[in-house]
Amino acid sequence: MVAQILDGELRLSPRPARPHANVATNLGIILGAPFKFGTGGPGGWVLIYEPELHLGPRPDKLVPDLAGWRRERLPRAVGGDDAPAHYGLAPDWVCEVLSDRTRRRDKGAKMRIYAREGVRHLWHVDPVARTIDLFRFKDGDWILLHSFSGEERVRAEPFEAIELDLALVWSE
Q: What is the pLDDT of residues 3-45, one digit of tens each?
A: 888 988 888 887 888 888 999 999 999 999 999 999 999 999 9
Prediction pTM value:
0.94
Spell out the domain ranges in the chain.
Answer: 21-170
Helices (H), 79-118: 103-107, 109-116
- For residues 35 and 70, the answer to whether their CB atoms sit within 8 Å is no
Q: Which of 7, 79, 87 is nearest to 51 (CA)?
A: 87
CATH of 21-170, one of 3.20.20.120, 3.90.1570.10, 3.40.50.300, 3.90.870.10: 3.90.1570.10
Q: Is residue 82 pLDDT above 80, yes or no?
A: no
**Residue 15, burial from CB neighbour count under 10 angstroms (0-12, 13-18, 19+):** exposed
